[in-house]
Structures are given as structure tokens and as C-alpha cells.
Structure 1
Amino acid sequence: MSVMEDTRDRIVASASAQIQRHGHIKTTVADVAKHCGMSPANIYRFFPTKAALIEAVSEIWLSMAEENARAIASRSVGAPQRVHDFVLGVHEFNRDRYTRDGEVHETCVAATTERWPIVARHEKTLTDIFATILRDGIDSGEFEIEDVEHTAAVMTSAMLKFHNPIMVAQYHGESLIEQAAALSAFMLKAIRKR
């Protein structure tokens, strides 16, 4: 890793810690710089604005959710079980992340509400990961799907209540696990080979 990459990673890690402690609105570039032991001008060499820095932190958080989804998709179980595990696993990861850390939740809500570019990329990544499970199910003869990409997009859209930070918070008191399990059963009924 180069010195520049190492410095950038230190800045992002520091910003993440500051945001988790104070929230993205109250965190300043000066706070991050002080935490890193460098000047604010040095931070701006890597991130032209505070918003760019916060997006970089949010991208790290979203990539953790994507790694969780990839791990589920690559399990050595049948495609139907992975569909079920994906729906519930994506929900559980996000529910735990958002309810455990209010400042992460607040930042992800802002990213979603304001439609930061990383949110569209994240949604596309989740859809692509889900599509790999569907393709595996077609290849194994378990699923019958005409348009995998469209089906994956529709099904991940149907999962919004279970992973969107706004909706996870709104429905937090409800038993979303049972609803997610019912959604996965509905999905599987629609795509199983007859």
C-alpha cells in the first residue's frame, strides 16, 4: 500500500469514528484532521469537500453490507435456501447495524433521502448479487425464470422494507423477520420450476 493510500485510509477511518461518535452533521473536517494528527488542508488534498469525505465513509459501511450479501450468496447450499437466507440475512445485518448505531443510521438515512450516487450503486450491487443466486437456481434446475436481471431487480425492490434505513427504523417495532420469511416464501413460489 502506498503512503497516499495509507493516508487516505487513515482519514476515512478517523472520519468514520468521528461520525459514529458525533453524527455526520456535527463532524467537521477540522475534527477529522485533529483526530488524524494532520491539518485540515491535508484532508482536502484527499477529499475536496466534507460531503465527499462522508460519502467515502458511507461507501465503506455499504460495502460491509454487500460483503455480508456476497457471503450469503456464495454459501454451499441450494439456491432456494440462499434466496431465503439472502432476504433474512440482508434484513438482519441492516437492522442490527442501524439499531445498534444511531449515527450510522442517521448518515445512511441522509444518503438514501438525498439519493447520493453511492446509494444507487449499492442497490445495483445487491441486485447483481441476488441475480447470481437466481442464475445458480436456473443452472441447477430449481428455478424457472425468463429474465434474471428483471426478476432480481423486482425482488430486491420488494425487499426495501427489510433493508432501507428509513423503513427499517419506521417498522423497527414490528416483527419484520416473519414478514421477510413470508416474502422469501412468496418469491420462491413464483420462481420454482414447475
Structure 2
Amino acid sequence: MNAANEHFRRYGYNKTTVADLARAIGLSTAYIYKFFESKQAIGEAVSAAALGRIIAELQKIVVQKKSAAERLRAIYQRLTRESAALFFNERKLHEIVITACSEAWRPISDYEEAMLGLIRELVAEGREKGEFERKTPIEETCRAILQTMELCWSPRLLERHLDDLEERAAVMANLVLRSLAP
């Protein structure tokens, strides 16, 4: 995994072969295939790790002792910053995430499910404490919020809106929070 991560960061997913990875760690290509069924499986593992780091950062926000509204706003901000950092600082990893999105790899659906879980936790808590409305079914509310967050993390949308990404995320967070008001 370390060799794959390093090669993908340096050369990109599309320019790296399983043979390149095998050479980098001094093993045969056949041996690599004992652990991963394909180059895509290796790419999925690298994508999952990169996206997992973002989820871990968002989880830190969810457990803070602030209002649900403050934490939801902070999630928009952190998600935007972490995704932009991946784009700017880890350009080749960003390209893997683009491939993962385009080809509907499992780590993308896992990432969305993890974000949905964080959103669900905040919305449920916000409703319980009277911060958020209770009329709309919680699943509908959470899925709608998740869709608005796509602007903050989707690789293709990031590329199109880098110049005002944080402002767009703030506007979206404001809209969502107004709609959640009791």
C-alpha cells in the first residue's frame, strides 16, 4: 500500500502499472495479485484511505460540544478545505478520486454513506434539542444535505469552482441551516 500510494502520488494512477508497484517493493507481479485482484483494487484501497482521512476530520467536528448548527456549518467548511487540499496538495490522489467517481468505485459510496451517517447524527441531535425542524422525514433531510455537500467534495465540481469554493460552501451551509430552522 505504501508503494502504491507513493507511485500514485508521483506518477498518477493511470501511469502506474502493477508491475511498477511490484518492482518498487521488490516482489513479483504475481505476488501482488495474491493480495489485490487488480490495479483497480489497489486504487480503491488508496482512495479509501484518502477519503477516510477526511471522514476522520469530520468526525472530530461531530463530537464537539457545540450546537448542531455550528457543527454542521463547520463540516461544510472543513469538507471544503480538506477536499481543496487534496486537489492542490495531492493532485495525483485527486485524480484517483476522479477515477473512483467516474467508475463508481466502492470507496465513493462508502464515503457518501459515512458522511450521511455524520449528517444523520447531527440532524437527529439538532431535532432532539429543538434546533431543527421535525416535519420532514429525517432520511429525506439528511440525503438532501448530503447532496448539497457534493459541491464541497466532488472532484469535478471542485475543479470548476476553486476560485470561490469556500464562499459557495458558506452560502450552501446558510441555506441548509435556514431550511432546518424550526
On whether the aligned pair clears a TM of 0.5, the verdict is yes
Give the residue type in structure 1 aligned to 2:12: G
Q: What is the SS of the residue equivalent to 1:159?
A: helix
- Where 2:4 maps in the other structure, the secondary structure is helix
Determine the structure 2 residue equivalent to 1:32: 21
Write the letter of the residue equivalent to 2:175: F
Cα distance in 1 for residues equivalent to 2:60 and 2:31: 36
State whether structure 2 residue 159 is matched by structure 1 residue 172.
no
Any conservation in 2 of the 1:88–1:180 contact (CA below 8 Å)? yes
Alignment of 1:67 with 2:56, yes or no, is yes
Greater relative contact order, per chain length (Cα 8 Å cut-off, separation 6+): 2
| Residue in structure 1 matching 2:173, options 158, 161, 184 | 184
Query: CA–CA distance in 2 between the matches of 1:81 and 1:63?
Result: 23
1:190 maps to a residue whose letter is S
SS in 2 for 1:115: coil
Residue 120 of structure 1: aligned partner:
109
Choose which of 38, 53, 56 in structure 1 pairs with 2:45.
Answer: 56
Q: For residue 77 of structure 1, what is the amino acid of its counterpart?
A: K
Q: 1:153 aligns with which of 143, 148, 156?
A: 143
| Contact 1:99–1:169 (CA under 8 A) maintained in structure 2 | no
2:66 match: 77
1:45 Cα offset (Å):
0.4
Name stretches of at least 5 consecutive residues in structure 1 with no aligned partner.
1-11
The 2-side partners of 1:121 and 1:150 are apart by: 19
Bigger drift between 21-30 and 114-123 goes to 114-123
TM-score, normalised by the number of residues in structure 1: 0.88
Instruction: Write the letter of the residue equivalent to 2:44.
Output: E
1:15 aligns with 2:33: no
Distance 1:176 1:150 in 2: 25
3-state SS of 1:38 partner:
coil
- Identical-residue share of aligned pairs (%): 26
How far did 1:37 drift? Answer: 2.3
Matches of 1:37 and 1:71, distance apart in 2: 38
* Counterpart secondary structure, 1:142: coil
Report deviation, 1:34.
2.0
State the TM-score, normalizing by the size of structure 2: 0.94
1:45 aligns with 2:34: yes
Q: Tell me the distance in 2 between the aligned counterparts of 1:89 and 1:147.
A: 26
